[in-house]
Structure 1
């Protein structure tokens, strides 16, 4: 009888397949590219393995690449066509159901099924990882924290895989606002495994959310060799580095990082990397700093993908790129395409249709309005959504580009009441942020108090 490293029985599994599965799970927990060949090895050894087939389905969706998801859907459909689900053991039945829901576009239902699985099998690291990533993609900060937190007591303190679980928990703590505790847990995870890039990333987020930009740069500098290569998260962590530099006022370093790692002629053109590039350049755009050549190259990369409707968060960053490159017609075409899709889909069936209708499209329209200088329209579109932006996924740090767009348009539209409130909120959370201080100074100047404005600016 074959079992995985956690002691779970493997239906239709062999010892050889279990070896591949264990290697695949470990690679997944540490974001190592070896996960893909390990899963292929698992399926070659055990083609009837429900866990193996579900694993491949999960990989096909979590990268938010439509072509990968389509290929995963075809493979899983072929496998499941003759499958007797009632004959499966409970754990395999739940993995199969989660994979089917995920491939059908129901991320929320898939996450719920994986939560049931974790309740019964809290040491199923695959279920915990995939559920955690789905919580991130759907912006559910509480589940992002508690899904992992609720399982930790079932793990032996000496288990080598407790470390990456602590890294996941640290990220959930950070997104839920427990910044000091998140830093503590994240650092503990990194002490166990210095190359735990998700834990390093979680600690970096805690510095971002507290406005400790120089500390963030120093932390990443001390561990550059641990996170900057050989994993799927390297480009995103470089984005955090560039963001720290930008927010500390070092524009030159931010652009050097952009050119070297975020987007250049050798970039793979993956959605998750392109959106990081757009998110950084948009902050330059909001500051009035022209990056036209970079925008043009980035817009070309988005245009070459010709993505179908798949994930609204990606669509927003594609629109940022088209707008930044001065190509509003392409932005409008993407918006019109998504609107047509919504008219044809069954409302409420796909997670992305709700994300697109309620958050994605209004944000896309706001970005286009911002580019044409219609700041009143930006405020009208974004003000009602400012507390709901998490519903289309991403992290607080990523979504801050949209929050800053609302603030900038509030100032430009003369909506000083809204700008005052937004700036007050930001300063309460990050009192030392240069951007927040500058925004306060601009508002004070707009209200006619030049002396106070200068005092705020120089504080």
Structure 2
């Protein structure tokens, strides 16, 4: 009798023990539990010849955007693939191995396409759906982020134990595609099934962020802090969202308490996904005129200690933020120069996704961030204006990329580029009409053009919006220990 996983997929060269470990690993992955690593190692020990298990290990080594993890995974995968007759494998597992190889070669877009092909015939392959969903996130493909999961949902019955996890993923795809009401509904439905589904928490948190529903977002996170606030791979990122709510509510000190307690602590592991959240938070504070030299210095030290080669352009931009914030333009210049040399090398070399991301978006953003640090606001506008509607192409979410969008707005205001500032503020107002940040921006623009009445009205609206958020302030104060 053939071995199958819990979703009914036949597993080639996998023992029942290996299948049990694989099921455990997939469940941990779906809910971002740290035990996923040990479960995959157990599965490898029990069934080293399993294509599913080997592909899983490859995905685990690449999706965290850690170049060291990818290098280790690449070596192990090469040993497995050496002499393997992949053509003799079942089609589903051939596609898994091809997608894993593409990931390890840096072809994130190709891997995402292969996994979509796999899901067409095997919509109940949860590993393929999760890995593809994360690749869609890393490549900024909001439509596929939504439709990859939406297209598979009909194959998952309402009584299926892991349908909720798919709803959480679907909620994030809906949110990134602008379907906020549907995203909130899907995320909350996922949480009814699994209250500790931190990706669903993350998705709903995004819906409130994108609509400016800050008080509701704070209440939502406060009510569920016991489920998301510690012990999972999204702990830091969801605390980062909490800090964004604090900033929007005018509670900068609270945001910094969250930063110190959860986002970047002395005990932080120095992972890129965590360091970029730290950089994005401090950068927003810097744009608001608040310098944090000691925090910037510690963060820049952490980025420099990584000595990252060209690997993921989105990470590079946040490293540059840290270097600029810490007053180390030389480090930022060195990173930019290194990426330029890399692009000038063998154009047919590995990492095609990151080559495109770096050339088209990453380098202009890095150069703009460096120019902003020098006070050359005209250069910031010149560099960011042409790419502002294509920032998604180097990954991340709308909320994450807003740090770059704010950089463009702040430099347009500082450069006296009133027409562009007006347009940018008008775009933001249409999406978040009650945002204090947006109203204060309008007030500053009105000051610049000499319209005192409009400035007074805008400041009044900003103050009114802040008053509306103040009932949320008590919820912003307690910061549970993320190490518990």
- TM band (smaller chain): over 0.9
Contact 1:11/1:49 (<8 A) preserved: yes
CA distance in 1, matches of 2:99, 2:427: 39
Aligned to 1:434: 436
Contact 1:407/1:422 (<8 A) preserved: yes
CA distance in 2, matches of 1:86, 1:242: 50
Q: CA deviation at 1:347?
A: 5.2
Q: CA deviation at 1:319?
A: 0.2
CA distance in 2, matches of 1:265, 1:387: 37
Aligned to 1:187: 188
Structure with higher RCO (Cα < 8 A, 6+ apart): 2
Q: Is it true that 1:333 corresponds to 2:334 in the alignment? A: yes
RMSD value, Cα: 0.8
Runs of 4+ in 1 over 3 A off after TM superposition: none
1:352-391 aligned within 5 A? 352-391=354-393
Aligned to 2:426: 424
Aligned to 2:460: 458
CA distance in 1, matches of 2:113, 2:306: 31
Aligned to 2:172: 171
Q: CA deviation at 1:183?
A: 0.4
Q: Deviations over 1:158-177 (max 9, x none)?
A: 11100010000000000000
Q: Deviations over 1:270-302 (max 9, x none)?
A: 000000000000000100111111000000000
Q: Deviations over 1:339-376 (max 9, x none)?
A: 11111132586100000011001000000101111100
1:3-402 aligned within 5 A? 3-346=4-347, 350-402=352-404
The secondary structure found in structure 2 opposite 1:315 is helix
Q: Deviations over 1:173-204 (max 9, x none)?
A: 00000001100110000010000000000000
The secondary structure found in structure 1 opposite 2:71 is helix
The secondary structure found in structure 2 opposite 1:436 is helix
The secondary structure found in structure 1 opposite 2:131 is helix
Unmatched runs of 5 consecutive residues or more in structure 2: 462-484
Contact 1:348/1:354 (<8 A) preserved: no
Contact 1:347/1:353 (<8 A) preserved: no
Q: Which deviates further from its counterpart, 339-348 or 275-284? A: 339-348
Unmatched runs of 5 consecutive residues or more in structure 1: none
CA distance in 2, matches of 1:347, 1:369: 31
CA distance in 2, matches of 1:268, 1:392: 24
> TM-score, normalized by length of structure 1?
0.99
The secondary structure found in structure 1 opposite 2:136 is helix
The secondary structure found in structure 2 opposite 1:230 is coil
Q: Deviations over 1:373-419 (max 9, x none)?
A: 11000000000001000000000000000000000000011110000
| Number of residues of Structure 1 aligned to a counterpart in Structure 2 | 459
1:373–1:347 CA distance, 2 compared to 1 (3 A) = farther
CA distance in 2, matches of 1:341, 1:360: 13
Q: CA deviation at 1:31?
A: 0.3
CA distance in 1, matches of 2:97, 2:453: 65
CA distance in 2, matches of 1:408, 1:6: 50
